[in-house]
Structure 1
Amino acid sequence: MSRTIGIYIETFFWSRHSLAGYPVQRATSTPVTSACFVMSLLIGGCTGAPQLASPWTSSGIQVDGSDVDWSHRRYVLEAVPLTLSVANDAEFFYLCAVTTDRGLQMRILGSGMELWVDPKGGTRTYFGVRVPPIDGQQFRRESGFEGGTLGGNRRGAGVGAGVQPAVSDSHLTAAFGELVGRRDIYILDSTEDEGDRIMPVRDDLVQVQLSYERGRLVYEARVPLHHFGHPSFELRAGERPVGVALRVPVPEMPLGGQFAGEQPVPGRDGGGLDRRGGGGVGGVGDFSGDRRGRASGRARPRRVPTEPLEQWIRIQLSAGGA
């Protein structure tokens, strides 16, 4: 049986909400109109994935890493500071995700980010698009974190050997600069696939763009409803839902390294998207900065991610213009 979980349609008027020590931006609710299309997010009884409806867009959406085209089309899960938006027209499915959480942002820097589509509405990683991570070694050299951690201090320990201050906002902005603009992306057919590298131009069917400014990371993507390359698929509007996932892989090498002899914490990935691929989104932990996602200026232990972060959502595409 499906159950409704708390969700709010984002407006430009935010209220602050504290959950388990994490201040979370919680959108105020607003009446649903033709412009604000979905009232609630459902957890499907069979897959555990949230389900929402995609609105029809008659003018298309320019995939440029900006979220200005997504006004009144944003969903906020109550537990985390993450907004998610979807839309479609006769040719494309569009997605926009925005986060201000420092922990999740650092994980994306070190691991990259993937968008997955299951045409049958399940949780199979059938067609994927990967934005690769930045050069971690270069980041550590330029930010002064060679051999240290991105942030965190063991109780009673000062900033010393193997422990470095939290990464500065200026270095973080520069690091995200590597992910912004026209760059290579990879088309995947499994999570183990190295992928086919492409550099999308304006008219390419698959597009992914990111932007980072004033602490906001915006991820924007589009995929065709009919893909004739490998792997091929067809997304049918107005029929069964489509499975869509955002996935952040395990980093090959953490951006900030780890303490000498420190072992990963089993089953604890530091938070972010639900690693189980279910309906919830977990908390965010020790990547950088304090618990509010701000740089603290001091160090503390950093949990090493041992599992990917993965959030599946079932999308009902609109056939409004068909």
Structure 2
Amino acid sequence: MNKSIIQTLFIITFLIIIGCSEIEIKSNWTENKILIDGNRNDWQNNIEYSKEEKVGIGISNDNEYLYLCLATVDNNKIMKILNNGFTVWFDPQDSDGKTIGIQYPIKKIPLNNKVEEFRKRNNQENNNENNNENTRLDKFLIDQNELLIVNEDNFPLNAYPLVNSANIEVKIDFDLNQLVYELKIPIKNKSENNFLVDVLPGENIKIGFASGEFEKPDFTGRPNIDNENPSGRSGLGGKGRMGNAEHNQRNFADRKEKLEFWINAVLSK
């Protein structure tokens, strides 16, 4: 075989391996209580940043619970989480435990118009960006008063209020211009049978992060404005509009792409 062909195949294989690689994270043992409040203070330096995914991820555990923190300033990811719903998947690797997902926020009715309404209200109430984000999020989460446990087929198994007997805690908030998602979930304990994730300290687990599917907004009755129309088209002519059109088309394509990535984690013991 031609030497140049062999070199080309080697490079392609290497790039495929790199492209398919997953994020590797070692869980930290929880010495102090982690408060699930949408704030990063309890995580200190235990957040690892992924440049590829534009998120910071922290994992911690003790003998009873797994704690998770995800933080991002990426607006596309924030909007996908809030608009399309968000599921964290747990896939135990060292047991026969089933894959389960914790779904929160839950995608209920199409939220595009609701989020747009929040944005308009907040622009009138307060021009401060941080206050706008927090106020809009507070209003948005009023309807998000429960979480779902789903199986690997995304079929709901149970629905719980946010304060529940299953000892699952979840919270989303803004902290230093970042969207912060925190989760606490029971893991397998040798002395207890009340667990949701079949993994012990010291074992391996894959954790996935996924948004729901994008639904095209209903623009019926709304003015045809460049920064709101997903096609980027406007009734106004002029060459200056072309750049806006291309930019908006790219943004719309990014919004349609589903958020999904996985990490490999080893729990501490």
Q: What is the TM-score normalised by the length of structure 1?
A: 0.56
Partner amino acid for 1:53? K
Task: Select which of 127, 131, 136 maps to 2:112.
Answer: 136
- Segments of structure 2 that go 5 or more residues without pairing to the other structure are 1-16, 122-127, 221-227, 233-243
Inter-partner Cα distance in structure 2 for 1:74 and 1:260: 35
Does structure 2 retain, via aligned residues, the 8 Å contact 1:125–1:191? no
Task: Select which of 125, 132, 135 maps to 1:174.
Answer: 135
- What is the Cα deviation at residue 311 of structure 1? 1.2
Inter-partner Cα distance in structure 1 for 2:41 and 2:51: 22
1:72 aligns with 2:45: yes
Partner amino acid for 1:139? V
Q: 1:192 aligns to what?
A: 154
1:246 aligns with 2:188: no
Q: 1:109 aligns to what?
A: 82
Q: 1:313 aligns to what?
A: 263
Structure 1 or 2, whichever has the larger Rg, is 2
Inter-partner Cα distance in structure 2 for 1:186 and 1:126: 14
Does structure 2 retain, via aligned residues, the 8 Å contact 1:63–1:221? yes
The number of residue pairs the alignment matches comes to 215
Partner amino acid for 2:252? R
Inter-partner Cα distance in structure 1 for 2:200 and 2:38: 26
Q: Please state whether the residue corresponding to 1:140 is helix, strand or coil.
A: helix
Question: CA 1:171–1:97 in structure 2 vs 1: closer, same or farther (change >3 Å)?
Answer: same
Task: Select which of 41, 55, 73 maps to 1:82.
Answer: 55
Inter-partner Cα distance in structure 2 for 1:226 and 1:187: 17
Q: 1:50 aligns to what?
A: 23
Alignment of 1:1-322 (within 5 A): 48-79=21-52, 81-120=54-93, 126-131=99-104, 132-133=106-107, 135-143=111-119, 169=129, 172-177=133-138, 178-179=140-141, 183-194=145-156, 196-201=158-163, 204-226=166-188, 233-239=197-203, 241-254=204-217, 259=229, 300-301=248-249, 302-304=251-253, 305-319=255-269
Q: 1:34 aligns to what?
A: none
Inter-partner Cα distance in structure 2 for 1:252 and 1:233: 31
What CA deviation, in whole Å up to 9, does each residue of 1:174-193 have, x standing for no partner? 33222389821111113532
Q: Please state whether the residue corresponding to 1:303 is helix, strand or coil.
A: helix
Question: CA 1:237–1:199 in structure 2 vs 1: closer, same or farther (change >3 Å)?
Answer: same
- What is the Cα deviation at residue 110 of structure 1? 0.9
Inter-partner Cα distance in structure 1 for 2:202 and 2:76: 37
Inter-partner Cα distance in structure 2 for 1:247 and 1:67: 21
Inter-partner Cα distance in structure 2 for 1:203 and 1:59: 22
Question: CA 1:79–1:50 in structure 2 vs 1: closer, same or farther (change >3 Å)?
Answer: closer
Inter-partner Cα distance in structure 2 for 1:260 and 1:88: 43
Does structure 1 retain, via aligned residues, the 8 Å contact 2:54–2:74? yes
Inter-partner Cα distance in structure 2 for 1:307 and 1:121: 32
Partner amino acid for 1:235? V
Inter-partner Cα distance in structure 2 for 1:85 and 1:98: 9
Inter-partner Cα distance in structure 1 for 2:43 and 2:218: 32
Inter-partner Cα distance in structure 1 for 2:98 and 2:120: 37
Q: Which has the higher helix share?
A: 2
Inter-partner Cα distance in structure 2 for 1:194 and 1:256: 31
Inter-partner Cα distance in structure 2 for 1:110 and 1:59: 34
Partner amino acid for 1:174? T
Inter-partner Cα distance in structure 1 for 2:145 and 2:100: 19
Inter-partner Cα distance in structure 1 for 2:168 and 2:22: 24
- What is the Cα deviation at residue 96 of structure 1? 0.5
